[in-house]
Amino acid sequence: MSSCSKRCLVLLEKCKNMKHLKQAHAQVFTTGLHTNTFALSRLLAFCSHPHQGSLIYACRLFQLIHHPTLCICNTLIKTFLLKAKFYASLHVFTKMLQSGLCPDNYTIPYVLKACAALHSCSLGQMVHGYSSKSGLVYDIFVGNSLMAMYSVCGDVVAARYVFDEIPRLSAVSWSVMISGYAKVGDVDSARLFFYEAPEKDRGIWGAMISGYVQNSCFKEGLYLFRLLQLTEVVPDESICVSILSACAHLGALDIGIWIHRYLKRAALPLSIRLSTSLLDMYAKCGNLDLAKRLFDLMPQRDIVCWNAMISGMAIHGDGASALKLFSDMEKAGIKPDDITFIAVFTACSYSGMAHEGLQLLYKMCSVYKIEPKSEHYSCLVDLLSRAGHFEEAMVMLRRISSSGNVSEETLAWRAFLSACCNHGQAQLAERAAERLLRLQNHSGVYVLLSNVYSASGKHSDARRVRDMMRNKRVDKVPGSSSVEIGGVVSEFIAGEETHPMMKEIHSVLEKMHLQLD
């Protein structure tokens, strides 16, 4: 290769934008490298850059290549994949097969990622069939990609079949299966794979911890994190984010603070994702001031970060600050999404700002063109019924009922029932309870209805509700609470006496009771 050709290839690697690339492309022609596979693949590869690249230029470039090689096709498939043009990736794959080119163990994983992104198990099965015929299914990269595709599509049975067929497994294979089972809620199978893994690397630990947190097994996630600390495996960003989420749900502030200190000691850069997880944890654990300080120190903020801070202010009942932050977000040029409006509606609800909530609903629909979902109507039901606007709340309830979202309708009716009880609206409470019992036979509904009858002096109706509860054998779900002491989260359930320090706890409670009297 001539010195000019070598300089041209070096120039290709130094491209910073499309203007540079076009200049390098011109050099490719003048130096006679327009048929060089490596040079053409580098030109295509730059076009896949998420910000600087151009998909149109990549397509035009590909059309000029009369006999594209396997490497060129793989590069174009990857380019389409990175640009989220998944059907285009599959189209190139089909053209490859038609032209007689044989895909390799780089092609198939790219194509399977496209199938997974489209959640198309049927297309993935066809690629699986080709891989089986060509023998590529036994390649570790192809096998892991097949398992990942099936797991994303929710077919863990097929993923397990591929897992059993691969002759040589890697740590990624175990991680994919753990994540796949966790995704469909089968925590027991995920745990079994975790303990059977011959060597547990950071990916396997992270998959299991994340699986616990995704399935609301927060205490189990924290326990596994404790075990991880006894090994030489160093937690990464994903593990820290999962644990911070568990801390936020359990109120485990000490462990959350330890994670924050660990990140500082390890000199790990606080990404937007990590900073958002930290401020969300602090806000949900009751330290809103520290959450605000962290938010103010962030050099960059995305929509998720703004939403977390607004939500944190909302759950602390600081509606005015939440709405001011929403206004600051708009001024900063950040366009709110549907999650943002759930946060601001919640802020208005907790702060009794019904008028402001309805104004925000108008802005959401007319200014930002966001179609309200059942989750938004559910927040508005809570907002309006808390403020005593029951007729308007009923309008929102009808909209939720027509959406077919049973879980959100149940939450909305429970909020409506609770507000009816607080406002002494016995008739509306009875109507809400009847609807709720058709949706969910929960003990809390009977208790709330019984309480509202008792409060309004209808003791015979209250007894009737309690008798109905006994006849239907509805068990009252005991209340529970958790407290963190010394980094250990203890859960207490009403009526249970199994805690090893129960005598000491009762002794302290009796002393507190005497002091309060």
> Tokens 């970060």 identify what position?
305
Q: Determine, yes or no, domain membership for 316.
A: yes
H helix or E strand, kind and range, residue 70: helix 70-82
Q: Is 487 domain-assigned?
A: yes
Do 361 and 421 lie in a common domain? Answer: no
**Residue 312 belongs to some domain of the structure:** yes
Residue 227, pLDDT score: 94
With a CB cutoff of 8 Å and minimum separation 6, the contacts of 40 are: 28, 34, 61, 65, 72
> How many residues can be counted in the chain?
517
460 and 501 part of one domain: no
- Examine the domain organization and report whether 405 and 462 are in the same domain: yes
Six-digit token pair at 235?
């937690």
pLDDT of residue 6: 52
Beta carbons within 10 angstroms of residue 317's beta carbon: 14
Predicted TM-score of the model (pTM): 0.77
- Say if 203 falls within a structural domain: no
Q: What is the pLDDT of residue 5?
A: 47
Evaluate whether residue 460 is within a structural domain. Answer: yes
How far apart CA 122 and CA 149 sit, in angstroms, is: 11
Report if residue 443 sits inside a domain: yes
Residues 485 and 469 reside in one and the same domain: no
Chunked in runs of 10, what are the mean pLDDT values of the chain (517 residues)?
51 59 62 60 67 69 78 86 90 90 92 95 94 92 96 95 92 96 96 95 96 95 92 91 93 89 83 94 93 93 95 92 95 94 92 89 92 87 87 85 77 80 77 71 63 67 65 53 58 60 72 71
Q: How far apart are the first and last CA of the chain?
A: 94
Residues 440, 421: one domain?
yes
Instruction: Please check whether residues 325 and 340 belong to one and the same domain.
Output: yes
Domain count, the chain: 3
313 and 365 assigned to the same domain: yes
Q: Residue 416: give the domain boundaries.
A: 395-477
Residue with structure tokens 């520290």? 290
Position 174 in a domain:
no
